[in-house]
Structure 1
């Protein structure tokens, strides 16, 4: 059983949010499960559900990285090439580049990642950090 069952994210423009999240989540192997008036969910068999909700208030503005609330969600992938591919998918879907794919030796000598952000200030990371080889 996964530790995290589901994650809900609120966006200002639901159709735009669906477009941006669908491209990324579909590329990660998630399937969209029917849209409702105020939300849409994606599932990956045996894994976490991700739900995008419409904002309930007007003029709430985008989230600002570093403020209380959302920091970022990291998707672990199987290779550096997959980080690069997913980064390109996200950018093509309208996500803004925060950091291009690159190594992050401050995390580990194996860590490779990219960061993107949507119109709402929602930040995601694609990362590859293979286990250290056994000695």
Structure 2
């Protein structure tokens, strides 16, 4: 199942204003912004509803930037397995499996770049089952 998608934008403020207005009739609003200090030097905005952001954009829209897609899984072990399998299939590491508490305390994800440079993630939102 898709968990969220993200796109690069060339003008963060313009895109923030656009999506705030355009998505409001759908009941979709700004859930969170992540400062550039938290994610590789680019600000990001997450839109969604009921506290769950599922549409993201960031101000990393220079030519050659790529799309981000995240798949939701039900265990941290599956995140680990995804990362290992993607690397074995020729993907490039873009973030080893681990917690990303700047999203929420139980956000456990791993990131790889596919052969075309797209950022692909597996994420588990559940607490650690072994704890």
- TM-score, structure 1 normalization: 0.46
Structure number having the greater strand percentage: 2
